[in-house]
Protein backbone atom coordinates (compact mmCIF):
# COMPACT_ATOMS: atom_id res chain seq x y z
CA UNK A 1 0.00 0.00 0.00
CA UNK A 2 1.30 3.46 -0.88
CA UNK A 3 2.32 5.77 1.93
CA UNK A 4 1.27 9.48 1.63
CA UNK A 5 4.74 10.35 0.32
CA UNK A 6 4.53 7.62 -2.32
CA UNK A 7 1.07 8.42 -3.64
CA UNK A 8 1.04 8.93 -7.41
CA UNK A 9 0.66 12.50 -8.58
CA UNK A 10 -2.76 13.39 -10.00
CA UNK A 11 -2.05 13.55 -13.74
CA UNK A 12 -4.78 16.09 -14.61
CA UNK A 13 -3.31 18.52 -12.07
CA UNK A 14 0.24 17.91 -13.28
CA UNK A 15 -0.80 18.44 -16.91
CA UNK A 16 -2.57 21.69 -16.04
CA UNK A 17 0.40 23.02 -14.09
CA UNK A 18 2.81 22.15 -16.88
CA UNK A 19 0.66 24.01 -19.40
CA UNK A 20 0.43 27.03 -17.13
CA UNK A 21 4.21 27.16 -16.61
CA UNK A 22 4.95 26.77 -20.34
CA UNK A 23 2.37 29.43 -21.22
CA UNK A 24 3.85 31.77 -18.60
CA UNK A 25 7.35 31.30 -20.00
CA UNK A 26 6.13 31.94 -23.53
CA UNK A 27 4.35 35.10 -22.41
CA UNK A 28 7.51 36.35 -20.71
CA UNK A 29 9.57 35.70 -23.85
CA UNK A 30 6.94 37.33 -26.05
CA UNK A 31 6.84 40.37 -23.77
CA UNK A 32 10.64 40.70 -23.89
CA UNK A 33 10.56 40.32 -27.68
CA UNK A 34 7.99 43.08 -28.01
CA UNK A 35 9.88 45.47 -25.74
CA UNK A 36 13.16 44.77 -27.51
CA UNK A 37 11.64 45.29 -30.96
CA UNK A 38 10.02 48.54 -29.85
CA UNK A 39 13.27 49.77 -28.29
CA UNK A 40 15.25 49.00 -31.45
CA UNK A 41 12.63 50.73 -33.60
CA UNK A 42 12.63 53.80 -31.35
CA UNK A 43 16.43 53.95 -31.33
CA UNK A 44 16.40 53.84 -35.13
CA UNK A 45 13.68 56.49 -35.30
CA UNK A 46 15.59 58.91 -33.07
CA UNK A 47 18.79 58.45 -35.08
CA UNK A 48 17.01 59.04 -38.40
CA UNK A 49 15.08 62.06 -37.11
CA UNK A 50 18.28 63.53 -35.68
CA UNK A 51 19.99 63.13 -39.06
CA UNK A 52 17.04 64.55 -40.97
CA UNK A 53 16.81 67.48 -38.58
CA UNK A 54 20.01 68.91 -40.02
CA UNK A 55 22.19 68.50 -36.94
CA UNK A 56 24.21 65.69 -38.51
CA UNK A 57 26.22 67.44 -41.17
CA UNK A 58 28.32 65.41 -43.58
CA UNK A 59 31.58 65.52 -41.64
CA UNK A 60 29.86 64.85 -38.31
CA UNK A 61 27.31 62.37 -39.65
CA UNK A 62 30.03 59.89 -40.59
CA UNK A 63 31.13 59.83 -36.95
CA UNK A 64 27.68 59.77 -35.36
CA UNK A 65 27.05 56.03 -35.24
CA UNK A 66 30.60 55.06 -34.18
CA UNK A 67 30.47 57.61 -31.34
CA UNK A 68 26.99 56.52 -30.26
CA UNK A 69 28.06 52.87 -30.42
CA UNK A 70 31.13 53.48 -28.27
CA UNK A 71 29.09 55.12 -25.52
CA UNK A 72 26.00 52.89 -25.64
CA UNK A 73 27.88 49.58 -25.90
CA UNK A 74 30.03 50.62 -22.93
CA UNK A 75 26.89 51.30 -20.87
CA UNK A 76 24.52 48.61 -22.20
CA UNK A 77 26.60 45.90 -23.87
CA UNK A 78 27.48 44.81 -27.40
CA UNK A 79 23.83 44.65 -28.42
CA UNK A 80 24.24 48.37 -29.15
CA UNK A 81 27.48 48.26 -31.12
CA UNK A 82 27.84 50.07 -34.44
CA UNK A 83 26.59 47.14 -36.52
CA UNK A 84 23.40 46.82 -34.47
CA UNK A 85 22.82 50.57 -34.47
CA UNK A 86 22.99 50.47 -38.27
CA UNK A 87 20.46 47.65 -38.20
CA UNK A 88 18.16 49.70 -35.95
CA UNK A 89 18.46 52.71 -38.22
CA UNK A 90 17.66 50.52 -41.25
CA UNK A 91 14.80 48.92 -39.29
CA UNK A 92 13.03 52.26 -38.93
CA UNK A 93 13.69 53.25 -42.54
CA UNK A 94 12.30 49.95 -43.86
CA UNK A 95 9.40 49.78 -41.37
CA UNK A 96 8.52 53.43 -40.63
CA UNK A 97 4.97 52.53 -39.51
CA UNK A 98 5.12 50.96 -36.05
CA UNK A 99 1.51 49.79 -36.24
CA UNK A 100 2.30 47.71 -39.33
CA UNK A 101 4.79 45.51 -37.44
CA UNK A 102 3.82 42.06 -36.18
CA UNK A 103 4.07 41.62 -32.43
CA UNK A 104 4.68 37.87 -32.86
CA UNK A 105 8.15 38.46 -34.28
CA UNK A 106 11.42 39.05 -32.44
CA UNK A 107 14.23 41.47 -33.21
CA UNK A 108 16.18 38.59 -34.77
CA UNK A 109 13.25 37.97 -37.14
CA UNK A 110 13.33 41.60 -38.21
CA UNK A 111 17.10 41.58 -38.70
CA UNK A 112 16.58 38.70 -41.15
CA UNK A 113 13.76 40.54 -42.90
CA UNK A 114 16.06 43.51 -43.50
CA UNK A 115 18.02 41.28 -45.89
CA UNK A 116 15.01 41.00 -48.23
CA UNK A 117 15.23 43.85 -50.74
CA UNK A 118 11.89 43.26 -52.48
CA UNK A 119 9.19 45.11 -50.52
CA UNK A 120 6.38 42.71 -51.44
CA UNK A 121 8.51 39.68 -50.56
CA UNK A 122 9.53 41.25 -47.25
CA UNK A 123 5.92 41.95 -46.28
CA UNK A 124 4.91 38.42 -47.28
CA UNK A 125 7.70 36.81 -45.24
CA UNK A 126 6.74 38.96 -42.25
CA UNK A 127 3.10 37.93 -42.43
CA UNK A 128 3.89 34.25 -42.97
CA UNK A 129 6.48 34.13 -40.17
CA UNK A 130 3.90 35.58 -37.77
CA UNK A 131 0.91 33.50 -38.86
CA UNK A 132 2.87 30.23 -39.22
CA UNK A 133 4.88 30.79 -36.03
CA UNK A 134 8.20 30.39 -37.82
CA UNK A 135 11.31 30.35 -35.68
CA UNK A 136 14.21 32.53 -36.76
CA UNK A 137 15.94 29.49 -38.25
CA UNK A 138 12.78 28.63 -40.20
CA UNK A 139 12.50 32.18 -41.52
CA UNK A 140 16.18 32.20 -42.51
CA UNK A 141 15.70 28.93 -44.37
CA UNK A 142 12.65 30.19 -46.24
CA UNK A 143 14.40 33.39 -47.29
CA UNK A 144 17.56 31.52 -48.27
CA UNK A 145 15.63 29.04 -50.44
CA UNK A 146 13.67 31.83 -52.20
CA UNK A 147 10.38 30.43 -50.96
CA UNK A 148 8.37 33.50 -51.99
CA UNK A 149 9.89 33.67 -55.46
CA UNK A 150 9.40 29.94 -56.06
CA UNK A 151 5.75 30.18 -55.05
CA UNK A 152 5.17 33.00 -57.53
CA UNK A 153 6.86 31.13 -60.35
CA UNK A 154 5.42 27.68 -59.66
CA UNK A 155 2.40 26.11 -61.32
CA UNK A 156 2.25 23.65 -58.42
CA UNK A 157 2.09 25.95 -55.40
CA UNK A 158 0.64 23.21 -53.19
CA UNK A 159 3.69 21.06 -53.91
CA UNK A 160 6.08 23.91 -53.09
CA UNK A 161 4.25 24.56 -49.81
CA UNK A 162 4.27 20.87 -48.88
CA UNK A 163 7.99 20.57 -49.59
CA UNK A 164 8.77 23.70 -47.54
CA UNK A 165 6.74 22.44 -44.58
CA UNK A 166 8.52 19.08 -44.75
CA UNK A 167 11.92 20.76 -44.78
CA UNK A 168 11.03 22.97 -41.82
CA UNK A 169 9.79 19.96 -39.88
CA UNK A 170 13.14 18.27 -40.52
CA UNK A 171 15.06 21.03 -38.72
CA UNK A 172 16.50 19.47 -35.55
CA UNK A 173 14.71 20.35 -32.34
CA UNK A 174 16.86 22.40 -29.97
CA UNK A 175 16.23 24.14 -26.64
CA UNK A 176 14.59 27.57 -26.83
CA UNK A 177 16.45 29.63 -29.39
CA UNK A 178 16.43 32.75 -27.24
CA UNK A 179 19.08 31.14 -25.01
CA UNK A 180 21.62 31.47 -27.81
CA UNK A 181 20.55 34.93 -28.94
CA UNK A 182 23.30 37.32 -27.78
CA UNK A 183 21.28 40.38 -28.73
CA UNK A 184 18.43 39.23 -26.48
CA UNK A 185 20.79 38.43 -23.61
CA UNK A 186 22.68 41.70 -23.89
CA UNK A 187 19.41 43.61 -24.10
CA UNK A 188 18.48 42.02 -20.77
CA UNK A 189 21.81 43.08 -19.27
CA UNK A 190 23.52 39.68 -19.40
CA UNK A 191 26.52 40.14 -21.71
CA UNK A 192 28.99 37.43 -22.69
CA UNK A 193 26.49 34.62 -22.14
CA UNK A 194 25.86 33.70 -25.75
CA UNK A 195 26.74 30.06 -25.10
CA UNK A 196 24.85 28.97 -22.03
CA UNK A 197 24.49 25.44 -23.37
CA UNK A 198 28.11 24.27 -23.63
CA UNK A 199 28.94 20.83 -22.30
CA UNK A 200 30.60 20.62 -18.91
CA UNK A 201 33.54 18.75 -20.46
CA UNK A 202 34.29 21.49 -22.96
CA UNK A 203 33.94 24.20 -20.32
CA UNK A 204 36.33 22.39 -18.01
CA UNK A 205 38.88 21.92 -20.77
CA UNK A 206 38.72 25.60 -21.68
CA UNK A 207 39.24 26.56 -18.03
CA UNK A 208 42.44 24.50 -17.95
CA UNK A 209 43.72 25.68 -21.32
CA UNK A 210 43.20 29.31 -20.41
CA UNK A 211 45.19 28.84 -17.22
CA UNK A 212 47.86 26.81 -19.03
CA UNK A 213 48.46 29.45 -21.70
CA UNK A 214 48.70 32.28 -19.20
CA UNK A 215 51.11 30.33 -17.03
CA UNK A 216 53.24 29.45 -20.05
CA UNK A 217 54.62 32.97 -19.76
CA UNK A 218 55.41 33.67 -23.40
CA UNK A 219 53.74 37.04 -23.73
CA UNK A 220 50.08 36.04 -23.44
CA UNK A 221 47.50 38.53 -22.18
CA UNK A 222 43.93 37.31 -21.82
CA UNK A 223 41.35 39.23 -23.91
CA UNK A 224 38.05 37.34 -23.90
CA UNK A 225 36.28 34.02 -23.68
CA UNK A 226 33.41 33.00 -25.97
CA UNK A 227 33.94 36.28 -27.81
CA UNK A 228 31.28 37.06 -30.36
CA UNK A 229 32.14 38.29 -33.86
CA UNK A 230 29.33 38.97 -36.27
CA UNK A 231 28.54 39.17 -39.94
CA UNK A 232 25.46 41.05 -41.11
CA UNK A 233 23.19 38.11 -40.24
CA UNK A 234 25.13 35.58 -38.15
CA UNK A 235 26.98 35.48 -34.84
CA UNK A 236 30.06 33.34 -34.21
CA UNK A 237 31.88 32.59 -30.96
CA UNK A 238 35.63 32.19 -30.45
CA UNK A 239 36.45 30.01 -27.46
CA UNK A 240 39.50 31.95 -26.23
CA UNK A 241 41.13 35.18 -27.42
CA UNK A 242 44.55 36.35 -26.25
CA UNK A 243 46.89 39.14 -27.27
CA UNK A 244 50.55 38.22 -27.45
CA UNK A 245 52.65 41.32 -26.82
CA UNK A 246 55.84 39.61 -28.00
CA UNK A 247 54.31 38.79 -31.37
CA UNK A 248 52.13 41.92 -31.35
CA UNK A 249 49.11 39.98 -32.56
CA UNK A 250 45.84 38.44 -31.46
CA UNK A 251 45.79 34.68 -30.87
CA UNK A 252 42.48 32.87 -31.36
CA UNK A 253 41.89 29.41 -29.91
CA UNK A 254 38.99 27.15 -30.81
CA UNK A 255 38.44 23.81 -29.13
CA UNK A 256 36.61 20.91 -30.76
CA UNK A 257 35.86 18.05 -28.40
CA UNK A 258 35.21 15.67 -31.29
CA UNK A 259 37.32 14.67 -34.27
CA UNK A 260 38.75 17.33 -36.55
CA UNK A 261 36.71 18.03 -39.70
CA UNK A 262 37.60 20.09 -42.75
CA UNK A 263 34.77 22.46 -41.80
CA UNK A 264 36.61 23.24 -38.55
CA UNK A 265 39.73 24.32 -40.44
CA UNK A 266 37.64 26.48 -42.76
CA UNK A 267 35.85 28.03 -39.81
CA UNK A 268 39.11 28.93 -38.10
CA UNK A 269 40.39 30.48 -41.33
CA UNK A 270 37.20 32.57 -41.42
CA UNK A 271 37.68 33.62 -37.77
CA UNK A 272 41.25 34.75 -38.51
CA UNK A 273 40.18 36.75 -41.57
CA UNK A 274 37.23 38.34 -39.76
CA UNK A 275 39.37 39.21 -36.73
CA UNK A 276 42.00 40.82 -38.92
CA UNK A 277 39.27 42.82 -40.63
CA UNK A 278 37.31 43.83 -37.51
CA UNK A 279 39.77 43.98 -34.59
CA UNK A 280 43.35 44.20 -35.86
CA UNK A 281 44.85 47.62 -35.19
CA UNK A 282 47.56 49.52 -37.02
CA UNK A 283 50.92 48.05 -36.05
CA UNK A 284 49.49 44.62 -35.17
CA UNK A 285 50.83 41.56 -36.92
CA UNK A 286 48.46 39.09 -38.61
CA UNK A 287 46.07 37.25 -36.30
CA UNK A 288 47.01 33.68 -35.43
CA UNK A 289 44.43 30.91 -35.06
CA UNK A 290 45.06 27.74 -33.07
CA UNK A 291 42.60 24.90 -33.61
CA UNK A 292 42.59 22.19 -30.95
CA UNK A 293 40.75 18.94 -31.54
CA UNK A 294 40.60 16.57 -28.60
CA UNK A 295 39.40 13.12 -29.54
CA UNK A 296 39.57 9.90 -27.56
CA UNK A 297 42.54 8.68 -29.54
CA UNK A 298 44.20 11.85 -30.73
CA UNK A 299 44.68 15.55 -30.24
CA UNK A 300 45.31 17.55 -33.36
CA UNK A 301 46.67 21.06 -33.46
CA UNK A 302 46.46 23.37 -36.45
CA UNK A 303 47.98 26.84 -36.73
CA UNK A 304 46.64 29.39 -39.18
CA UNK A 305 48.33 32.61 -40.25
CA UNK A 306 46.43 34.84 -42.65
CA UNK A 307 49.40 36.18 -44.61
CA UNK A 308 51.58 33.19 -45.36
CA UNK A 309 53.99 35.42 -47.29
CA UNK A 310 55.16 37.06 -44.07
CA UNK A 311 57.73 34.37 -43.36
CA UNK A 312 59.56 36.36 -40.70
CA UNK A 313 56.42 36.60 -38.62
CA UNK A 314 55.64 32.94 -39.26
CA UNK A 315 59.03 31.94 -37.88
CA UNK A 316 58.54 34.19 -34.85
CA UNK A 317 55.23 32.67 -33.86
CA UNK A 318 56.70 29.17 -34.09
CA UNK A 319 59.30 30.20 -31.51
CA UNK A 320 57.01 32.08 -29.13
CA UNK A 321 53.70 30.20 -29.20
CA UNK A 322 53.46 26.86 -27.39
CA UNK A 323 54.58 24.00 -29.57
CA UNK A 324 52.12 21.49 -30.98
CA UNK A 325 53.56 18.87 -28.64
CA UNK A 326 53.04 21.08 -25.57
CA UNK A 327 49.43 21.74 -26.52
CA UNK A 328 48.83 18.11 -27.40
CA UNK A 329 50.15 16.88 -24.05
CA UNK A 330 48.15 19.51 -22.17
CA UNK A 331 44.82 18.75 -23.78
CA UNK A 332 45.32 15.01 -23.38
CA UNK A 333 46.32 15.37 -19.73
CA UNK A 334 43.43 17.67 -18.86
CA UNK A 335 40.88 15.65 -20.79
CA UNK A 336 41.89 12.53 -18.86
CA UNK A 337 41.74 14.49 -15.58
CA UNK A 338 38.28 15.90 -16.29
CA UNK A 339 36.87 12.57 -17.42
CA UNK A 340 38.27 10.86 -14.33
CA UNK A 341 36.66 13.49 -12.08
CA UNK A 342 33.33 13.06 -13.88
CA UNK A 343 33.59 9.29 -13.52
CA UNK A 344 34.20 9.58 -9.76
CA UNK A 345 31.27 11.95 -9.42
CA UNK A 346 28.93 9.50 -11.16
CA UNK A 347 30.11 6.61 -8.95
CA UNK A 348 29.52 8.70 -5.84
CA UNK A 349 25.92 9.59 -6.72
CA UNK A 350 24.30 6.29 -5.52
CA UNK A 351 26.21 6.47 -2.24
CA UNK A 352 25.04 10.05 -1.72
CA UNK A 353 21.48 8.94 -2.33
CA UNK A 354 21.74 6.31 0.42
CA UNK A 355 23.06 8.75 2.98
- Mean model confidence pLDDT for the chain: 76
Chain centre distance of CA 305? 24
CA distance 193 to 181: 9
CB 290 within 8 A of CB 249: no
Q: Hey, CA dihedral for 265, 323, 284, 81, is it positive or negative?
A: positive
CA distance 67 to 203: 35
List, by residue range, all CATH 3.40.1350 domains of the chain: 200-353
DSSP string, 283-330: TPPPPEEEEEEE-SS-EEEEEEES-TT-HHHHHHHHHHSPPHHHHHHH
Can you list the positions of beta strands (E) in the chain? Answer: 220-230, 235-244, 249-256, 288-294, 299-305
Q: What is the pLDDT of residues 271-312, one digit of tens each?
A: 888 888 888 888 888 888 888 776 545 566 777 765 555 566
Question: Under DSSP, is residue 2 helix (H, G, I), strand (E, B) or coil?
Answer: coil
How distant, in Å, are the alpha carbons of 141, 246, 324, 334 from that of 239?
27, 22, 18, 17
Q: What is the pLDDT of residues 66-95, one digit of tens each?
A: 888 888 888 887 778 888 899 999 999 999
Q: What is the pLDDT of residues 193-248, one digit of tens each?
A: 444 333 455 676 777 777 777 776 678 888 888 888 877 767 788 888 989 888 88
**What backbone phi and psi angles, to 5 degrees, belong to 221?**
-125, 125
CB 83 within 8 A of CB 230: yes
Between 2.60.40, 3.40.50, 3.40.1350, 3.30.200, what CATH number should domain 200-353 receive? 3.40.1350
Given a cut of 60, whether residue 150 has pLDDT beyond it is yes
CA distance 321 to 231: 29
Q: What is the pLDDT of residues 195-206, one digit of tens each?
A: 433 345 567 677
In this prediction, residue 90 carries a pLDDT of 93
Neighbours of 253 (CB within 10 A): 22
Q: Which of 13-22, 208-217, 248-257, 308-317 has the lowest mean pLDDT?
A: 308-317
* pTM score over 0.85: no
Given a cut of 60, whether residue 117 has pLDDT beyond it is yes
DSSP string, 45-99: HHHHHHHHTT-S-HHHHHHHHHHHHHHHHHHH-GGGSHHHHHHHHHHHHH---GG
In this prediction, residue 79 carries a pLDDT of 79
Comparing 339 with 43, which gets the higher pLDDT?
43
Q: What is the pLDDT of residues 320-341, one digit of tens each?
A: 787 777 777 777 777 667 666 6
In this prediction, residue 126 carries a pLDDT of 92
Amino acid sequence: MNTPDQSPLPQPLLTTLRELILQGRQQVLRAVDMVQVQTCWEVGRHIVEFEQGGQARAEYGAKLLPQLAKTLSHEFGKGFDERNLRNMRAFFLVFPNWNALRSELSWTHYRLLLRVENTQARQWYMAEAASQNWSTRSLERQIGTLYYERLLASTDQAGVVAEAQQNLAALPAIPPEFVRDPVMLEFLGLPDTGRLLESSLEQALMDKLQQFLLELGKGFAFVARQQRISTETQDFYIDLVFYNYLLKCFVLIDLKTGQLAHQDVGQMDMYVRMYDDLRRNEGDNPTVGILLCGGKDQSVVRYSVLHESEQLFASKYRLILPSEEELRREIERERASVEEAQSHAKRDLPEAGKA
